Amino acid sequence: MIQPVSVPIDEKFITDACYYAFKTVTCSFDNAMKPRFGNGGLFKHLLGKIGETAFFRFCLENQIAVKHTPFRNDYSELNSMDDFVISLLGHDFRVEVKTATLNNPLNPDGKLVLFYNRDQYKAQEDHDYLVVFAGVNREVTQIALIGWIHAEDIRSCKIWTKNMKAPAYAIPLAKLRDMRRLADAEVWR
């Protein structure tokens, strides 16, 4: 069973996440952009930026080279590079971070299923990237990186439509790899 990685939340963490969520929403609104997949809005974008900020800090703390971040001051246009690019074992990997609200992100239920929007997945021409799942509690006092999966492996997951705004791949917790093994050469052999 994987062990989620807790990422401490401090004032700078929240300030950074709030800033980029606000920029995303206001730039999108100013340019008459609408959410492509499900709900938009400040709180949804804030949750996403919290997950991205947690992943960025994880990389820094674990000496994982970050070549590109999704943090920018102008979100007036969609950008295919709104993901991370990290360097591991001499190779560059694109990393997309997905954030879910969970009751206990540090100790998720073994039956937990995480979702990846089907249309967003199918819109990607190349599935040679990693997806990191983050979890934040409802009070936004805990953030954990739950685990990661190679995007190509998502294709084999079932499509979930019940109680969903849009069809999504249902990824069981058991299919994720432990965050602590992200930079482990053994995982990539």
Q: What is the pLDDT of residues 49-65, one digit of tens each?
A: 899 999 999 999 999 99
pLDDT of residue 188: 58
* CB neighbourhood size of 77 (10 A): 9
Binned at pLDDT 50, 70 and 90, residue 28 comes out as: low
Quickly count: other Cβ atoms within 10 Å of residue 48's Cβ: 20
Which of 168, 167, 169, 165 minimizes the C-alpha distance to 155?
Answer: 169
Nearest to 179 by CA among 82, 51, 9: 51
CA gap 65, 67 in Å, rounded: 6
To 10 degrees, what angle do helices 11-30 and 42-61 make?
130
Output the pLDDT for position 77.
58
Higher pLDDT, 176 or 71: 176
Tokens at residue 96, please? Answer: 């997309």
The pLDDT value recorded for residue 18 is: 87
Domain boundaries, the chain: 5-179
CA dist 20 and 72 (Å) reads 7
DSSP one-letter code for 97: E
Question: What's the pLDDT tens digit per position in 73-130?
Answer: 665 555 556 689 999 988 999 999 999 999 999 999 989 999 999 998 999 889 999 9
3-class state of residue 114 by DSSP: strand
How is residue 182 written in tokens?
């992200």
